[in-house]
Structure 1
Amino acid sequence: MHQTPWMTSDILSRLNANAGMLLVRSLWEYCPEHMFIVRVEGPTDFVVEAMNPTRQAMLGNDTIAIGKRIEQLLPPHMGHGVIANLKRCVECRSPIRYEEEGGYIDRNGICQQGHWQTLLVPITNQEGYVTHLFGVSRDMSLLSNQPGGAYPNSKEFERRVHERTAELIAANEHLTHLATHDPLTDIYNRRYLLELAELELRRAFRYEQPLCLMMLDVDHFKEINDVEGHLAGDEALRRVAHTILATVRECDLVGRYGGDEFIILMPETTAAGASEIAERLQRTLSQTTPLTISIGIASLEPADRFVVDLIHRADALLLQAKRNGRNRIECAA
């Protein structure tokens, strides 16, 4: 199988390990429109990171374009307009459409003129910053050369672009969810939870705000697995996760740390406030299920540098709650 530039692109290679890859690959490989991804390196600094085969056929050898800045690939009058639209998409953080007249250097080194209609879609990272732009373009001047009915008008083109873009966005959202959530409980997985928690830790120090971390696990969980079976154990974990989400605030971060252990990070929360949330959680769980949980709560201290510092203290307090009879809350003053 021949390799295309999208397989060398970082943003697209990350999709390679996920189940939705087939849809994305098909759209990328066979879409008749020109599709491309540019990397945002500065307010007016955009680097071509990937092009689909249709785009490659237009420009020629992909190694000439991949890794180059927009102004290196287009004539100045056209390059300035493209950069202005890329910048506008980054600033508004939402899809935009635009049309332009201009030319490009084809694979034979000949300048070709065209009337382009382009849709740009911003791609953000976990912190919400726009890191890449996904684009779909069509040379409207070629419509007269297409077989009858292929593209009857620009509205049909826009419809097809919107359909394919919507599919790509939906696939990307699904892949992002798979990469950041625990498949059993559908709350944050350990890796993503710790990434978000580190950001909250830095924010708490920057603005001198309180922060608490709660670690909990299911009492007698091994007995549930041994006596009732692992399906019952899985259902117990799902019910605990659902109860946590229904009890905590929207700003709290909830994730599965491992096994039957869960972590709740509570920004702008004191030890007293965290204890109230823990008591409400225990009470709600006991009213809706036969399950009980033990909880350890650690507060942010001046000497803390990483989230793992709070996790170690909360884990020790959780162990203390277990030793003291389970179904208890232990909180560092």
Structure 2
Amino acid sequence: MSRLVLDVRNLSTAVSTRKGDLTIVDDLNLKVRRGETVAIIGESGCGKSLAALSLMRLLPKGRARIRDGEIRLEGRDLATLPERDIVRLRGRDIAMIFQDPMSALNPVMTIGRQLEEAIRAHVDLKGEALKARCIELLRLVHIPDPETRLKEYPHRLSGGMCQRIAIAMAIACDPRLLIADEPTTALDVTIQAQVLQLLQELKARTGMALLIITHDFGVVAEMADRVVVMYAGRKVEEGVVRDIFRDPRHPYTQGLLALTLHPGQSRAARLPEIRGVVPPYEARGAGCPFADRCDKVLDVCRRQAPATIALTVDHEVACWAAELESERYVVAVDN
């Protein structure tokens, strides 16, 4: 079995509001191994991006904080490391690609200077050796004429080119874990496919672990080995991708998959919908946060949040209805 790179244990992250602290990421458990791609999927407002920022220790000071839990990167707990140690690790051992490449790049610095900064923060390179490394990185991400592009400013490049440069900066120091937060959101379909293929190539070449944040099951099918489904800050289901596609057990996962176009399905066909919206965090009760939108809701769902149960070695779910169905299945098999 591949070496464990990331081990997140019971992570909870809170945001400060005028009404007090609100827990946005609630008791998250997650593992990523070397060479593995894990996807976190859910609607907007489910806590995916805040979870990624928590892993990077990039939460806005005074407005959000890690309330509880561990973030173990190859054994070191990032949640408790001093800031000076996190700065040394960030970019070298763990790196992140942000949603909007244009906002991730400095508009008044050339591409070359930004790449040089990313490298010099962790590697002692100067002069021609530093320039050669910048050119090498641009070639790795398939930027044409890299010598010329080093002198360009971000506004002179397309969104796809800027995203490739953001990826080059993220991999500049060969991180063990790369987090990609919605890396294709602002790009057209053709460029999306190219960026996803590029990430696959880089992972295969370097052996790094990849954690992708997305709302698109198409990206999950294309990229991931395992998928974590989040809803209202909680992990509601996790499993190997093929198992989740073949046998989704949480009603929310089932609803998300029903919204995905399948091969041969007419684009003119009306897709089903998940009624309602993700509840505001301040309105969350003691029960399951998906209860008001769920077609399988039970009385217990409104009173008590379900625990996570293991359906198989590689498939777990937090759902009272799924647990009940699983028990019935076990009884039927035993009889």
Instruction: Output the TM-score relative to the length of structure 1.
Output: 0.28
Q: Which has the higher relative contact order, 1 or 2, with Cα contacts under 8 A spaced 6 or more apart?
A: 2
Instruction: Output the TM-score relative to the length of structure 2.
Output: 0.28
